[in-house]
Amino acid sequence: MKPHEIIFEFVSVEPKNNAYTIIDTSNAINQRKTVCKFRVITLNYNASQLVNFDVIKDMILNQESSHTVTVHTEHKVKRKRKLGCIGSIITEPEDKKYNVIFQEEAIA
């Protein structure tokens, strides 16, 4: 963040899974920018359309533990290891599911 930017909204599901909105106060327009960081999902353009600040905020505020977002990556680059060998690099489709899990003792 730059010195003239302030965090306007912040949502976090668990450590290293958070999103926040920044307001740039250096000009009169007060431009907003959203930053999302998720450890579970590789955020490319398609994934960011499904898992973003607004979706996570709605999941948390509405306590929708049954709401699951599935992110499909058509060509995920993976490394296949073999015992005693170097292995190989392949591309294959991958589906990742993202949901918010609420624990009764954690909600106050």
Show the CA angle centred on residue 96, arms to residues 88 and 108, nearest 5°. Answer: 135
The mean per-residue pLDDT over the stretch 25-48 comes to 83
pLDDT of residue 60: 83
Average pLDDT, the chain: 82
Q: CA 97 to CA 88: how far, in whole Å? A: 26
Question: b or e along 44-79 (b: 16 or more beta carbons within 10 Å of the residue's beta carbon)?
Answer: eeebbeebbbebbeebeeeeeeeeebebebeeeeee
Name which residue leads in pLDDT, 44 or 102.
Answer: 44
Looking at residue 108, its pLDDT comes to 47
- The structure tokens listed for 33 are 């920018």
For 70-101, how does the pLDDT look when each residue is reduced to its tens digit (9 = 90+)?
A: 888 888 888 887 777 777 888 988 888 877 77
* Greatest C-alpha distance within the chain: 62
Question: Cβ–Cβ contacts within 10 Å for residue 98, how many?
Answer: 20
> Which tens digits make up the pLDDT trace of 4-22?
889 999 998 888 888 999 9
CB of 72 within 8 A of CB of 93?
A: yes
Contact (CB, 8 A) for 17 and 37: yes
